[in-house]
């Protein structure tokens, strides 16, 4: 099945158009109405906005706590022991396709070969497709020089728009021969038994499960404060929040790599949306809409944590933009979404997918408001913040922030990394970075929706020249 | 073990648990109704109910009206129930809500004690006897029914004890979360929780450091201490900051003119006449109270400690850390002359004794009938001894006010006077904000009134202005207490000397013994 055929299946939910005509009309009509009322009753509009924002914000915090609580009650990740993973005879293993999209990272090709050769999977059942772009001769040459083994091959993605990672993956998927398929980034260090674990797990879980998300961690956690924050965030994400979503029977937005699929179903579903800058999260929602389930596999893939401030902001703003896109795309036909996802799915879509970037954006506004109050105490604020919402707002400000810091301390403990305590307690500074990224994301969503921010890799290597690539 | 046998094993303790809750619920409800029916609900209960009432039904309803002198949880928890006064006016006008809620809290507390004894793997008979030793102790029964904050406080302390016990025995870090949260909530109920706010993380850190596995034990200890301690510390800091912002005092309990320290100093002659002035006198008084409530606690403590050491069972640290630290705090406060030395400050002795006995039974091996009998007797002796102590007005200065005939007559008479004042003021058909009264003394009157908007009271934001210039604030009358030292309305007009209060006015009200209680004067 060629990539174009696969992609055609998702046209209705592609982020090629971020807002459909109907959404656009609705948005402008809403804004016009708001502006109209604002002229007549400005205070009322402000009060209603504050009330709505407060309620949504409170709901997002409550949702987060509910996820962690749900995740804590029992094991919601799929655990496959080393023995069980190795117990399957080579003859019984299916062909497994590993897609490795890379762009301008000649320096990591050597390491990539080493990490892939560490995978415990029979070579005659393994198909590794290195997806490279035609203009990236450097990486193509490096790969050609380093490539050894029949199971490895290079696929130069034909020139076509958009030139994105999901596009490359779709091209790779079109040629994949495996029963199962997964994606690794070039710099990833996957758990050597991950493919075997995924096979055993997917067979155990049955056909309802079409995808398993493995846990992502970082190999350069201790490089600086940003990488430590990042590692802590990932630990919370993959050990609490995603298992919480699984526990509550909600859609799971996938992470960019180490997701393991049944190839046939993935093709049927239309695979990755080449226009969505977080095609992975979007795919997670689409899987849920089609009635499939996603599990979280206890098996770690180590990645490179973004250690540079500017680079981090770029990467994070792309994620946030993608989440917002995904949110808008799936709100196109709310009735269909509700029918397919149910109220749980809708909660996840709004409070988690839409809520994560929006909360980051709102944080900055709300902190600024708080600061303004303490510095100037403008009387008009007393009018805007009417009592019940004012109290909920104060509650969110105080307990919301405290709760998230507290949850981070718990993550430190469950990661068995007590040295990260200070990092957890300093999380508010990381949130400030998130706010910055979300502002950039919102701006880009409006003016440059499909623009793909490149993330530089190899910053943990002091000697090699950094390379730009599409990462997760 | 199949799941069937698990269910079969669970069921008896579950029904037993429900039976315990039901029985206690009924008994405590009856006690609560008795307190209400005889109108001997303590003034502190009424005042905490009133604090909640102001936030919704005063002339100037706002959350901060709950006040900052007393920790807010016992009042805040009443808020959702206050609107029910429409259906049942007695809930607020006769303070019925306070004892109903304390009865519910104490029932839940008994449930936690029972569950904790089950977790200590006690068999049914000793488990039920020890649960009863706590549930039927006269102090427990009294404070279940009188609407005071002790029941709420005990519940959170025991929830923390249970979670800490769980952590000490199973060592799953998740248990530290409920322990920390419970201590934070306990601080919301009473400031004595400052002690476990400190003690809990310290003990947790020491245990992790001592028993922690490989790796950096000091760093692990630090993280565990933060998990256990952060909620409590946050509760203390938040409450202090909120107080500072709203009433400009970090710890109003200690610094307000209505607070504990002020009350202790203004009533110090009264206190020392009973307890003695010097350290020796206080120590003697305090020991008498201690021995009265838990005569053989020290025996149980030593026995439990020896057995715990032999069995290498750290579970005993849970009740000792949480309940013991509260006791130590109160002892220190009293011995240094900073508290009243009320008997109720030692109420944690009751669950502590029971849990120590439970721990003895859980660790004493081999455990023959004789040893069980001895342990249970040690625990049960607290009941007759407490009963005796409660009838001693010197030791149980507050409690004897409602368990002795003379005391309860005095108390119910004061409630009647308050209701009379409220009814008379209602009959005057005054406009909103016509009567100026200090909420810290007139809470009973305001609660009993059909027209609470008629009063301008302490939490109202225009109160300070109204005290200095009543007429400018459309005040028509001032309601003055006869002798309460903290009555801001009276002292604002007549100074601190109670003798200067006019004995005539627009109206005066006296109690059944002819003592002047209230004077209403024109502004």
Give the 3-state DSSP-derived string for B169-205, with helices as H, strands as E and coil as C: HHCCHHHHHHHHHHHHHHHHHCHHHHHHHHHHHHHHH
**Contact by Cβ (8 Å): B106, B154:** yes
The alpha carbons of chain B give a radius of gyration, in whole angstroms, of: 24
Residue percentage of chain B with pLDDT more than 90: 70
Contact B226 A402 (CB under 8 A): no
Q: Give the pLDDT band of residue B484 (cuts 50, 70, 90).
A: confident
A414 touches chain B (CB under 8 A): yes
Find out whether the peptide bond into B462 is cis, omega within 30 degrees of 0.
Answer: no
Residue of B72, B177, B213, B233 best to disrupt the A interface, most CBs of A under 10 A: B177
SS3 A220: coil
Is residue B244 over pLDDT 90?
Answer: no
State the average pLDDT over residues B257-276.
65
A446 touches chain B (CB under 8 A): no
Contact B222 A421 (CB under 8 A): yes
Nearest to B226 among A72, A402, A421 (CB): A421
Is residue B92 over pLDDT 60?
Answer: yes
Residue B105 to chain A, least CA–CA distance (Å): 24
Question: Scanning the structure block, which residue is given the tokens 């404060």?
Answer: A225
Residue A398 to chain B, least CA–CA distance (Å): 8
**Contact by Cβ (8 Å): A336, A12:** no
DSSP 8-class letter at A127? E
Sheet containing B435-436: which strands, arranged edge to edge?
B455-456, B435-436, B477-481, B516-522, B507-510
Terminal CA-CA length for chain A: 25
Tokens of B283: 């120590």
Residue A133 to chain B, least CA–CA distance (Å): 46
**Contact by Cβ (8 Å): A131, A123:** no
Q: How far is A343 from A348, CA to CA, in rounded Å? A: 9
Query: In B, what residues contact A, Cβ < 8 A?
Result: 62-63, 173-174, 177, 215-216, 219-220, 222-224, 226-227, 230-231, 234, 238
Q: Which helix (H) or strand (E) holds B464?
A: helix B463-468
Which ipTM value was assigned to this complex?
0.86
Residues 6+ apart with CB under 8 A from A342: none
Neighbours of B403 (CB within 10 A): 16
pLDDT digits (tens, 9 = 90+) for A293-324: 999 999 999 999 989 999 999 999 999 999 99
Residue A128 to chain B, least CA–CA distance (Å): 39
pLDDT digits (tens, 9 = 90+) for A69-100: 998 887 888 999 999 999 999 999 999 999 99
* Nearest residue to A219 via CA among A198, A254, A191: A191
What pLDDT does B77 receive?
95
Q: Which helix (H) or strand (E) holds A131?
A: strand A126-132
Contact B223 A413 (CB under 8 A): yes
What pLDDT does B7 receive?
42
Greater model confidence, B69 or B303: B303
CA–CA distances in Å: residue B364 to residues B306, B311, B358, B360: 10, 8, 10, 6
Residues 6+ apart with CB under 8 A from B357: B130, B133, B300, B304, B375, B376, B378, B379
Q: How far is A396 from A161, CA to CA, in rounded Å? A: 44
Q: How far is A163 from A167, CA to CA, in rounded Å? A: 6
State the average pLDDT over residues B420-440.
94
Give the mean pLDDT of chain B.
90
CATH superfamily of A1-472: Spore Coat Polysaccharide Biosynthesis Protein SpsA; Chain A (3.90.550.10)
Q: How far from chain centre, in Å, is Cα B148?
A: 5
Nearest-10 Cα torsion for A11, A14, A18, A24: 30
Nearest CA in chain B to A410: B227
Q: How many residues does this entry show for chain B?
A: 523
Number of CB pairs < 8 Å for A and B?
39
A426 touches chain B (CB under 8 A): no
Contact A414 B173 (CB under 8 A): yes
Question: Residues of A375-400 as b/e, b for ≥16 C-beta within 10 angstroms?
Answer: eeeeeeeeebbeeebbebbeebbebb
Q: How far is B430 from B427, CA to CA, in rounded Å? A: 8
Main-chain phi, psi angles of A2, to 5 degrees? -65, 160
What pLDDT does B345 receive?
94
Residues 6+ apart with CB under 8 A from A162: A274, A275, A450, A452
Nearest CA in chain A to B64: A391
A394 touches chain B (CB under 8 A): no
Tokens of A9: 């299946």
Lowest mean pLDDT among A25-34, B81-90, B212-221, B277-286: B212-221
Q: Which residues from A are below 8 Å from B178, CB to CB?
A: none
What pLDDT does A395 receive?
83
Tokens of B37: 């029916």
Q: How far is B283 from B489, CA to CA, in rounded Å? A: 38
Q: Which residues from A are below 8 Å from B231, CB to CB?
A: 406
Q: Which stretches of chain A drop beneath a pLDDT of 70? A: 1, 11, 454-472
Q: Which residues from B are below 8 Å from A418, CB to CB?
A: 215-216, 219-220, 222-223
What pLDDT does A459 receive?
65
Nearest CA in chain B to A413: B223
What pLDDT does B261 receive?
66
State the average pLDDT over residues B330-344.
89
DSSP β-ladder status, A77-78 and B455-456: unpaired
What pLDDT does A465 receive?
40
Q: How far is A348 from A359, CA to CA, in rounded Å? A: 14
What pLDDT does B257 receive?
63
Nearest to A402 among B216, B224, B234 (CB): B234
Q: How far is B144 from B135, CA to CA, in rounded Å? A: 9
Nearest to B174 among A72, A406, A412 (CB): A72
State the average pLDDT over residues B367-387.
95
Q: Which residues from A are below 8 Å from B226, CB to CB?
A: 409, 421, 425
Is residue B112 over pLDDT 70?
Answer: yes
Q: How far is B66 from B47, CA to CA, in rounded Å? A: 10
Greater model confidence, B357 or A255: B357
What pLDDT does B267 receive?
55
State the average pLDDT over residues B236-245.
88
**Contact by Cβ (8 Å): B140, B114:** no
Q: How far is B451 from B421, CA to CA, in rounded Å? A: 12
> Domain ranges in chain A?
1-472
Tokens of B474: 């459309």
Residue of B220, B221, B241 best to disrupt the A interface, most CBs of A under 10 A: B220
Q: How far is B327 from B317, CA to CA, in rounded Å? A: 14
Question: Scanning the structure block, which residue is given the tokens 């949306």?
Answer: A273
Q: Which residues from A are below 8 Å from B238, CB to CB?
A: 398
* Nearest residue to B383 via CA among B424, B354, B423, B412: B354
Q: How far from chain centre, in Å, is Cα A273?
A: 14
Contact B223 A421 (CB under 8 A): yes
What pLDDT does B8 receive?
43
């Amino acid at each position: 099945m060629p990539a174009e055929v696969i992609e055609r299946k998702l046209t209705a939910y592609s982020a090629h158009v971020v807002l459909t005509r109907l959404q656009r009309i609705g948005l402008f009509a809403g804004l016009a109405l708001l502006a109209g009322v604002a002229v007549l009753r400005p205070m009322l509009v402000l009060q209603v906005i504050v009330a709505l924002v407060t309620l949504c914000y409170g709901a997002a915090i409550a949702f987060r706590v509910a996820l962690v609580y749900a995740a804590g009650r029992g094991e919601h990740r799929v655990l496959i022991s080393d023995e069980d993973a190795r117990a399957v005879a080579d003859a019984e293993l299916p062909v497994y396709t590993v897609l490795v999209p890379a762009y301008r990272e000649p320096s990591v090709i050597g390491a990539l070969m080493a990490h892939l050769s560490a995978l415990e999977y029979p070579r005659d059942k393994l198909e590794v497709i290195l997806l490279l772009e035609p203009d990236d001769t450097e990486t193509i040459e490096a790969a050609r020089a380093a490539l050894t083994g029949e199971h490895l091959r290079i696929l130069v993605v034909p020139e076509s728009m958009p030139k994105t990672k999901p596009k490359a993956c779709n091209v790779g998927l079109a040629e994949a021969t495996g029963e199962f398929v997964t994606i690794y980034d070039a710099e990833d260090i996957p758990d050597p038994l991950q493919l075997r674990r995924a096979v055993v797990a997917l067979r155990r879980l049955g056909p309802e499960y079409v995808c398993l998300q493995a846990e992502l961690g970082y190999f350069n956690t201790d490089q600086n404060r940003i990488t430590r924050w990042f590692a802590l965030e990932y630990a919370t994400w993959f050990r609490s929040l995603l298992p919480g979503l699984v526990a509550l029977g909600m859609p799971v937005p996938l992470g960019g790599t180490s997701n393991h699929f049944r190839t046939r179903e993935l093709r049927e579903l239309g695979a990755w949306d080449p226009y969505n800058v977080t095609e992975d999260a979007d795919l997670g929602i689409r899987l849920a809409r089609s009635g499939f389930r996603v599990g979280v596999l206890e098996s770690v893939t180590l990645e490179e944590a973004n250690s540079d401030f500017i680079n981090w902001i770029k990467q994070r703003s792309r994620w946030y933009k993608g989440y917002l896109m995904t949110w808008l795309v799936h709100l196109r036909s709310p009735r269909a979404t509700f029918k397919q996802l149910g109220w749980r799915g809708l909660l996840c879509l709004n409070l988690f997918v839409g809520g994560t970037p929006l909360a980051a954006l709102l944080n900055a506004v709300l902190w600024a408001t708080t600061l303004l109050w303490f510095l100037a105490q403008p009387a008009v604020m007393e009018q805007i913040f009417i009592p019940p919402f004012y109290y909920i707002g104060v509650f969110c400000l105080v307990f919301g922030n405290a709760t998230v810091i507290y949850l981070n301390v718990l993550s430190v403990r469950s990661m068995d990394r007590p040295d990260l305590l200070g990092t957890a307690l300093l999380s508010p500074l990381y949130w400030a970075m998130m706010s910055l990224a979300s502002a950039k994301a919102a701006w880009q969503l409006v003016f440059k929706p499909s623009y793909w921010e490149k993330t530089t890799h190899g910053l943990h290597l002091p000697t090699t020249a950094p390379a730009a690539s599409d990462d997760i | 073990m199949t799941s069937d046998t698990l269910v079969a094993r669970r069921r008896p303790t579950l029904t037993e648990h429900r039976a315990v809750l039901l029985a206690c619920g009924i008994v405590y409800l009856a006690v609560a109704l008795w307190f209400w029916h005889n109108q001997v609900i303590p003034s502190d209960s009424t005042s905490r109910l009133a604090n909640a009432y102001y936030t919704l039904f005063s002339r100037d309803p706002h959350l901060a009206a709950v006040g900052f002198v007393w920790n807010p949880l016992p009042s805040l928890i009443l808020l959702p129930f206050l609107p029910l006064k429409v259906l049942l006016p007695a809930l607020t006008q006769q303070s019925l809500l306070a004892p109903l809620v304390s009865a519910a809290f104490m029932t839940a507390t008994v449930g936690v004690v029972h569950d904790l004894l089950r977790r200590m793997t006690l068999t049914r008979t000793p488990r039920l006897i020890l649960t009863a030793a706590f549930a039927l102790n006269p102090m427990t029964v009294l404070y279940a029914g009188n609407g005071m904050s002790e029941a709420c406080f005990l519940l959170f302390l025991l929830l923390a004890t249970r979670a800490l016990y769980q952590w000490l025995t199973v060592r799953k870090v998740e248990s530290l979360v409920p322990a920390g949260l419970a201590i934070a909530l306990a601080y919301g109920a009473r400031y004595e929780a400052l002690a476990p706010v400190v003690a809990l993380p310290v003990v947790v850190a020491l245990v992790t450091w001592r028993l922690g596995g490989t790796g950096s034990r000091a760093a692990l200890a630090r993280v565990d201490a933060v998990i256990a301690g952060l909620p409590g510390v946050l509760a203390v800091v938040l409450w202090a900051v909120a107080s500072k912002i709203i009433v400009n005092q970090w710890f109003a309990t200690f610094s307000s003119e209505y607070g504990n320290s002020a009350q202790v100093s203004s009533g110090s002659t009264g206190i020392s006449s009973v307890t003695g002035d010097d350290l020796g006198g206080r120590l003697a008084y305090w020991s008498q109270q201690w021995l009265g409530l838990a005569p053989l606690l020290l025996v149980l403590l030593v026995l439990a400690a020896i057995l715990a050491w032999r069995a290498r069972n750290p579970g005993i640290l849970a009740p000792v850390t949480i309940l013991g630290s509260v006791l130590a705090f109160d002892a220190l406060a009293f011995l240094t002359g900073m508290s009243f030395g009320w008997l109720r400050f030692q109420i944690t002795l009751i669950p502590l004794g029971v849990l120590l006995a439970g721990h003895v039974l859980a660790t004493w091996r081999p455990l023959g009938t004789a040893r069980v009998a001895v342990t249970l007797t040690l625990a049960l002796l607290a009941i007759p001894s407490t009963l005796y102590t409660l009838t001693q007005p010197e030791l149980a200065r507050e409690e004897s006010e409602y368990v002795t005939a003379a005391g309860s007559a005095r108390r119910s008479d004061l409630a009647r006077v308050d209701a009379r004042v409220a009814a008379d003021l209602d009959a005057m058909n005054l406009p909103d904000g016509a009567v100026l009264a200090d909420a810290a003394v007139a809470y009973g009157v305001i609660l009993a009134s059909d027209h609470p908007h008629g009063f301008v009271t302490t939490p109202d934001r225009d109160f300070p202005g109204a005290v200095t210039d009543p007429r400018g604030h459309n005040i028509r009358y001032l309601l003055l207490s006869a002798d309460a030292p903290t009555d801001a309305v009276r002292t604002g007009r007549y100074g601190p000397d109670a003798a200067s209060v006019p004995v005539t006015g627009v109206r005066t009200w006296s109690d059944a013994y002819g003592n002047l209680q209230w004077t209403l004067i024109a502004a």
